[in-house]
Amino acid sequence: MKRWHKIAIGSAAGIVLAGAALFALDAADKAYPPPLDRANAVSAEVLDADGQLLRAFATSEGRWRLKTAVSDVDPQFLRMLIAYEDQRFYDHGGVDPWALGRAAMQLVGNGRIVSGASTLSMQVARLIEPREGRSLSAKLLQLVRAVQIERRLSKEQILDLYLTHAPYGGNLEGARAASLAYFGKEPRRLTVAEAALLVALPQLPERRRPDRNLKTAEAARKRVLDRVAVAEAVGDGEAERAEGVAVPSRRMQLPALAAHVAEAALRKEPDVLKHQTTLKKQVQQGLESVARAAAMKLGPKLSLAMVMADAQTGAIVGEVGSADYFDASRSGWIDMTRVNRSPGSTLKPFIYGLAFEQGLVSQETIIEDRPADFFGYRPRNFDMSYQGDVTVREALQLSLNVPAVKLLDAVGPSRLMVRFRRAEVRPVLPPNETPGLAIGLGGVGITLKDLVQLYTALANRGQPARLGDGVTGAPGKLDGEPLLEPVAVWSVADILSGVIPPAGAPQRGIAYKTGTSYGYRDAWSVGYDGRYVLGVWVGRPDNSAVPGLTGYGTAAPILFEGFAKSGIATTPLPRPPAGAVRIAQSELPISQRRFALNANGLLVASGREAAPQIIYPPEGAHVDLGAGAGNLSPLMLKLQGGRAPFRWLANGKPLPDLSRRRTQQWLPDGGGYSKLTVIDSAGRAASVGVFID
């Protein structure tokens, strides 16, 4: 009995001592945890709308260390890595006893290290807590840290750390950075040869750098491919075939797109590691290639900027802030998409749109292009010549200045500025000045981004979109009133789509307008199809004059090349809305055949004040307002001529209010035939009969 009693006491004491030892180990583990927080120091990334890498930034110590997860790499690469580095990775707890025993026996038998015993967990421990030199104490610390790491992280998380921190030569760390630098692609799809090289390099990254020691890199890759376990992991014959593939001999630059957008993203959220943008990588690459080629032709000190936006969503899909971010001679660090400059003639389409909307003119209305004096303001054409009588269509296509100012005088500069505010765009007027006629020829300041935002209305049936800033600003449609009515928007697009492309540029089915600011300081071109708007600015950031700089000759070729290289298929321009028609001059109402104003600002015809005429809807028109569906929409009424105020009657019944405007809305009671009449202040009347469908 005494013997059994002693055994029981001894066992209990052993259990207590073991428990105490485990408690002590646990306390030590908690007191000296592995420095996993160091693993969070990774490169900041700027991504496109689909999550593709646009630009990465080196860490504070100058490392390209892109955060990499198991899901970011080719599964075959992982199988090869584990087969070569740590075959029992999923079975051990951080330390592989079999590998330790084998390494010890080889050391005793050969007097030198033949093979290592480091598991992937031990390698992670060394990567996040590097030690100078190789010593027994350093190796013991790795063993302890590996066990600690295994207690805290899953196997997948440990692999994530290895894939992020493994060294690949120079300042490259992690499988993603290495794959981008040596293969020019993300590591999601790797060939056997590429995967083998990524497995081989981290063991001796400096000696095996393929860009410096190609033969050594080839030999290291061959050792990986010759390993039986690797050959079994990749399949029959694949390893032999991979040995014949050339090893890349140069290191490529990591993606470095959208410099200005990327810098803006970091300034806004400096602590965020991944910044999502609205850009599209394919579009951005295309626009930047166009910008680089154009800069070489433009010559020194000139810069350029480009903004491409989705008119339906408001997303900026491509943005180039300067010809070259790092070119000091061009002040490349300045983001010229955000700088106010004179827009030249690029605002003219909105003047014409207002004139169409108010019924002042039609496309074939004759308007004079002759010297004119607007209370001391005497606009002249770009080439100092005059065309005489031209149609409104020709006046806009040729970008004639006098007709544009005449129309702006009729619609009112303040009204134009109010319309711009509907698009949340506020052009900058000269100090202490009110809106004047010079607006039509570039006498305001506007940014390229805001100009593109205005043009989204022309590409989207009059409804503008908010572009945001490409980073954190939320894009989207603006819910307020449209900038212009759909019929007026269609008329503008119908004219601008007929402008001849610059020499050598293909006809892409886009509508576009050019502009050149006073003194040859800014060249502009803005174009759009049925979905996208692209704006181009060219000039010197210091606002110096550039002789020979023009919108048509300098910016328009870049615009067409930008559309071509963006990779986006052309979307047809919107179809004509209800009521949009081309009317021959001979069929126009007499008051619309020629645009002229008397001293009181009233439209005149044949030298006398014109009587009112209803120009929309035309006589006998069938207008689809949804009567068949029982959900009628209002009908827009437009008149020309006459003297305000005006009284409208529908089927003999007066509409509620007198109006001083030449447009009015009427909501029918139902479908069928209706008679519409307008009477001006002089008692003159006009009527049309229409059919409401």
Parallel, antiparallel or unpaired: strands 64-65 and 366-369: unpaired
**Residue 497 tokens, joined:** 């789509």
- Please give the structure tokens belonging to residue 625: 């307002």
- Residue 586 is a catalytic residue: no
Cα angle at 174 between 183 and 85, to 5 degrees?
A: 100
Say what angle helices 413-422 and 348-357 make with each other, to 10 degrees.
100
* φ, ψ at 54 (rounded to 5°): -95, -45
Tell me whether residue 319 is one of the annotated catalytic residues: no
From the list 345, 517, 566, 659, the catalytic residue is: 345
**Is-contact 637 358, C-beta < 8 A?**
no
Cβ contact 38:242 at 8 Å:
no
Residue 242 region, left (φ>0) first, then alpha (ψ -120 to 50), else beta? alpha
| Rounded Cα distance, 44 and 411, in Å | 51
Q: How far apart are the first and last CA of the chain?
A: 112
Q: Cβ of 3: how many Cβ atoms within 10 Å?
A: 7
Relative orientation angle of helices 348-357 and 486-496, to the nearest 10 degrees: 130
Q: How long is the chain? A: 693
Which tokens go with 33? Answer: 């945890």
Burial of 630 (0-12, 13-18, 19+ CB in 10 A): exposed
H-type alpha helices, 187-258: 192-200, 214-226, 228-234, 238-243
d(CA 492, CA 286): 28
Options 45, 85, 194, 319, the catalytic residue: 85
DSSP string, 105-158: HHHHHHSS--S----HHHHHHHHHS--SS--HHHHHHHHHHHHHHHHHS-HHHH
- Round to whole Å and give the CA distance between 166 and 542: 46
The amino acid present at 240, given as its one-letter code, is E
Nearest-angstrom CA–CA distance, 528 and 144: 64
Whether the CB-CB separation of 120 and 82 falls below 8 Å is answered with yes
Report which of 17, 63, 276, 279 is spatially closest to residue 166, judged by C-alpha positions.
Answer: 63
Picking from 159, 573, 524, 148, the residue whose alpha carbon sits closest to that of residue 336 is 524
Of 528, 574, 549, 543, give the one whose Cα is nearest residue 307: 528
Structure tokens at 137: 């104490």
Three-class SS string for 395-444?
HHHCCCHHHHHHHHHHHCHHHHHHHHHHCCCCCECCCCCCCCHHHHHCCC
Which among 51, 243, 273, 61 has a CA at the least distance from the CA of 167? 61
* Rounded alpha-carbon distances, angstroms, from residue 193 to 52, 223, 358, 378, 486: 24, 12, 69, 72, 58
- Active site positions, annotated: 85, 345
